[in-house]
Amino acid sequence: MRLRVGETTDMTTDESTLLREANRLNYRLRSAFFYRKLKEYNTLAFSQMITELLPIENLYNWDERENWDIGEDAFAYIKGHQHLHLIQVFCHPKLLREYPALLAYYRCAFPESSQISDKHRYKKI
């Protein structure tokens, strides 16, 4: 079947049923794929990992945050809200060295900030 812009076509009942079944299978396959990936990367455990680290979050020094591209406004906002914690939002280099699995958390939670700028790409932390 070929459609052109501005044309409409009536699908037969068989075509409609086949299309509906194809879409249903496609959604099942996608959901199975993402479920496998969630299990493979253990992403469902990230929240628990961060929660378990909250009691020791004060052991991390944030004085060099400017070198890590953490904006002062964002830092002050998170620091000023009791229900938010710095390690929930910002990635501390020492935290990553001690818990490398958290790199996936920061990449999943904040994909736009996981892009390392060129000036920091090869910088030793």
Closest CA to 63 of 96, 100, 92: 92
d(CA 35, CA 29): 10
The pLDDT assigned to 2 comes to: 58
Q: For the whole model, what pTM was predicted?
A: 0.59
Q: 93 to each of 9, 14, 62, how far by Cα in Å? A: 58, 58, 10
Would you give per-residue pLDDT tens digits along the chain (125 residues)?
A: 555 666 556 667 788 899 999 999 999 999 998 888 778 877 778 889 999 999 999 999 999 999 999 999 999 999 999 899 999 999 999 999 999 988 888 887 665 554 444 444 444 44
Residue 19: per-residue pLDDT = 92
R_g (Cα) of the chain, nearest Å:
23
Report the pLDDT value the prediction gives residue 114, as an integer from 0 to 100. 47
- Cβ pair 87, 95 in contact under 8 A: yes
Residue 123's pLDDT is 46
